[in-house]
Structure 1
């Protein structure tokens, strides 16, 4: 991931973005021998429809409306599979899930979360991770897992709210 690539917060062809990401996710699942069932695939498509995190019940409502069942395990199992295999991420601050925009790449993104619209973008994390590991290392601590989320305003909401 580079810091200059298009993000959820920059103008881009979203249909191409979502379609390309879905194709990469399907290729990654096939490469790893993972079964992307119809409900798992549709769950990923739902997450890709907008660059924002969605709660499990919001996903379940969409799945139920499309005939995939209306019991919570339907959504939770699909979301668990997608996150376990790096095709989606859990955004803890929002208790929600977002499609991974870089399936198949070894990365641990920083999530930039808009406090107004709940838009979520994955940001390149290498510099942040390096700083975290250096700070931890200075204390003799080894970081095994970190989930870094930043809350703020996306460019659209910033403009709409006239925030400098």
Structure 2
């Protein structure tokens, strides 16, 4: 996954070319710690660790924004209406999240071309799925540009590639150079 900093050079094209290359939406996250990656990979098919805590989600989101240049970007590139992306710890997931608080099969993201967005549904995970620090119930919820999305303790920003492109083409903060 490229970092925000690495994508800046590729964002010099117009927004339509950027969207054409990367798809309509992106999930942005802090690079997972090497310790968590190793633990999650070693866990493989074993049980999920109960550790998610809702009170930490807002703090993590703020810390993500402070280190924006170093965040990793995962582009979702749906090819058909209703395409579903499985989110989980298993390597067979569409979106693999290396965090021990993430269940093997944690959630589903469903693409809707009609409104050019994704919908998220928790799949009965141990540590829950959150949108803007509010835990999802059993219902599917639409994601909006700029939403905070968490699978257990793994925090993401959900953005359109148009929004990401706009951020990438703004001046680089001096502290991030």
* TM-score range relative to shorter protein: under 0.3
Query: Relative CO higher for 1 or 2, CA cutoff 8 Å, sep ≥ 6?
Result: 2
Question: Counting helix residues as a fraction of each chain, which structure ranks higher?
Answer: 1
Question: Counting strand residues as a fraction of each chain, which structure ranks higher?
Answer: 2
Based on CA coordinates, which of the two structures has the bigger radius of gyration? 1
TM-score, normalization by structure 1: 0.28
